[in-house]
Structure 1
């Protein structure tokens, strides 16, 4: 007991999902536009990566300068601390001997 009116509508539904040449053309045009956009984005990415590599070299150089300055400051401040401590010790020793 099947309904004979359903068969044509099911057939029409199946036929409507089959792509026509116009829809294929539209889909291909859309894919072409997406590919063009992807190509442009990849070109931009390549340029950005190239600039990032150049900047990374510059940052590496700055890191070297900063490290050198920290080492120099550590040496200078370390010498002042050692000289200041030894000078204070000798002053305290000399004042103690004078007081006696």
Structure 2
């Protein structure tokens, strides 16, 4: 599914509405699947925003681990989980908007 995503946190801290409105959304294909995480030694539900314009799928944003769907309504959804930056895990929330076809 083609989407636009706005991360609502930076290193676990909520971004202000003013700062969020100045940031452009990240665009790509949303993929959500269960995968084994070797660092955690267990399966996790992982959300990814992928860019496939170069011919190979690459992550646009850090992957969202232990992803949970909070709500869906009128072409928007909110996902929350944790993202791994270097060796630290941070809380993250994505505001996801379905891109027009």
TM category (shorter chain) comes to under 0.3
- TM-score relative to the length of structure 1: 0.12
**More helix by percentage:** 1
Instruction: Answer 1 or 2: higher relative contact order, Cα 8 Å, separation at least 6.
Output: 2
**More strand by percentage:** 2
- TM-score relative to the length of structure 2: 0.12
Instruction: Flag the structure with larger Rg.
Output: 1
